[in-house]
Structure 1
Amino acid sequence: MFQDVHEYGQINYVIAIGSLSSSVSLLGLNTAVTTLVPQGHKKIDVQANQVILISATVCAIIASLFNWLLGLFVMGMAFWMMSSYELLSRKSYRKYAINIIGSRGSQLVLSIILYSFFGLQGIIIGFIISFFAFSITYFKTIPQFSKSFDKITKEFKTSLHLYSYNLSNALLLYFDKLIIAPIYGYTVLGYYQLGFQFLMFFSMISVSFYQYLIPEESSGSKRNRLRLYGIALSIIITILVFVLAPVILQVFFPNYINSLNSIRILSLGIIPMMITSMLNSKFLAMKLTRYVLFSSITYQVTQIILIVILGKQYGIDGISMSVVIAMLFQITFLGIAHLRLSKKNEQNI
C-alpha cells in the first residue's frame, strides 16, 4: 500500500483536515473529564458527552463540504476520543489500552483491505468503522443525556483553557500538513509524513505517560521515579530509531528512501516530547493551563516560520528540523516557567 509517495501525502492531507475538525469539536472537554473526574466531579462526563454530540455534528457538517466521508470521520473520532479519555479518568488503564491499541490496529487492517476496493476513500472508511466500533463507552452514556449542563457551566473557565491547549496540540499534530501540501506539494508531504509517523508512533509512549500522569496527579499522587524511567526509555528509543532507520526503510519502505534523514532528524524529537508531556501534566494537574497554552503557541509559531524558511533552504530535512527546533523552544518555555513556580513555592514555605 502507498507505493506512490504523492498518494500517501494526499491521504494524509485529507485525514489532517478531518482530525483537526474533530479536535475543534472536542472543546477541551476530553482533557477536562480526565482532570476533573478523579477529583470527584460526578456526572461531568455525561454532560461533556452531551455537548460533544452537538459540537461534533456542527463540525462534521462543515468538514463534509470538503469530502462527504469526513463528516462521519469527525463524529466517529470525537466519540472515540471521549470514550478513551473517560476510561482514563476512571483509571481503567487496561480498558483504555485496549481501546487505543484496538482502534489503531483495526484502522490499519481495515484501511489496507478497503484501499484495495475503494482506493483512498477506502482508507477513510476504515478509520470511520474503527472509530465507531471503539466508541462503546460514549454510546453507553447516551441514555443518561438530559437538558442539564450545570456541571459543565461551573467548570467553563477550566474547560476553555484546556480547549485552547487541546486545539494548540491538534495544530501541532495536523496543521503542518495543511501548510506543507499547498507550498511544497503532496510528494514532499509524503516523504516528510513517513518520518513524522515514526515520531508519532514512538511518541505514543510519551503521550501514554502524559495521559496517565494527569489523573494520577489530579488525585494527588506523585510519580517522580516513573518520569525518570520515561526519559531513559525515550533516550533508548531515539538511539534505536536513529541506528535502525536505514534497515527499516530498505525492508519495509524501499520507495521512501528519501525519508531517511527526515526520520533521523524527527527521532530527536522523542526526548523533548517526553519531557514536554511530563511538564504539561504537572501544569494541568495544578490547573495552570495558561503555561501549557503559551508553550503550545510558542511551538506552533516557531514551527510555521521555520517550515517556510528551512523548507525552502533544505527541503524535507529543513521541514523536519523545524519540528525539533520548535520543540526545543517549547520545552525551554515550560522549563523556565516550572523553575519560577518552584522558586515561588519555596519562598512561600
Structure 2
Amino acid sequence: MAENEAPEGPEPEQVQDSADVDQGEPVDLSRFYASTIKPLQEYLDGQNAQIRKMLTGMAAAQMRPTLPRIVVENPLIRMSAAAETLRKQVADMTGFNDMIRQALQPMHDFYPAQWQNVFASLAEATRRLYPENLRDAAPQIRDLEKLLVDEGIPLMWVPGPRTVRALLDAPTAVARRRTIGQRWEDIVEDCEAVLEEVKHPAMQDACGFALDVVAALRAGHTNPAQALAANLLDSLLQRHFDKAARVQLTNNDFKSNGIKFQLDDYKFKVACTFAPVWYAHAKYYPKNGDPIPRTFGRHPSAHGVSRAQYSRINALYALMLVTSVIKFFDTELPS
C-alpha cells in the first residue's frame, strides 16, 4: 500500500436502512399499461402492427390511458407517477413475467402464442435498462437506494459484475467499503476497460485524465489520483450541465434537512448515475468546525486535505464516479 489508511470507523453518518418496497398491492392494469409504455416506447414502436393494435384496443376497452412521450433531449426530465410505478414494480426482475401474466390474463387466454412472445420480449427489454455490469445481479430498488443514495457507491457500468455481487452480498456499509478496498486492483481494471470503450469525441479529454487516475493508482500515487478525480468530476459537471441542473444534482444538505436524493425524480440512468455524485457533494464547512469526513467527498477533497479524507479507498470511489459520469455522457450526448 502506498498510503497508510486510518482504520475503518463506524458506518457513515448518512447510511440508513431503506424501507422495503411494498409489493403486496394488486396490479392496477391502467397504471401498469401506461407505465410500461413510457420507458419501453422505443421497443414497442418496433413491434408489429398487430401487437400494437392489440395493446391499444385493450387499453381503449378498459381504462383508456394516455401514452406519454419521452423527451430524450433532457436527461433530467422528471418521471411521471406512472413511470415511478413501473420503476418500483419491475425493480424485482424475478417476478416480472408473473406480474405481467396476472395483469393481462384475460388477453393471454385469447392470444396465448402472441402474448408469450410479448412477455419474453418485455422482460428482456426491461433487463436491458441495466448496464451490463448490473444485468446478472438485477438489484432491487431497496438495494439501489441503500448503495447509491445512502452510501454513495457508484454502480453504473463499474465496478464489474463480481464486485457488484460481493457488494450486494456484504451485510453492512463497513463491509462494503472494506470490499472495495480489498478489490481495488479489479476495480481499477474495470474502470480502465469502460474508459477505453468510450467513443464520443466530447469525452476524449476527460477519458485521458481519468486514465491518468488509473495509472496513478496502479503506481501507488493515491493522493494525486484522488485529487485529479475529484477535480475532473467537478469539471465534467461544469462543462455539461447548466447551473440549475448542477444544483439539482449536487445539493446535498442531508445532515441539516434530512432530505435525500430521490431516485423516483429522474430517468433510470440519470438517477443511478448521479445519486452517488449527490452523496459526494455533502455540505462541508471547515469554517463552521465541520469534522473532515472519512468517506469520499468533493468538498473535503478540495478544502479538507488530510489523512482522514485522502486514502486509496476514497480514490477508488472518485475514479468509479468519474468513470460512471463519463460513460453516462458517452451514451447520452448527441453525436
TM-score by length of 2: 0.26
TM-score by length of 1: 0.25
Q: Which has the higher helix share?
A: 1
Structure having the higher Rg: 2
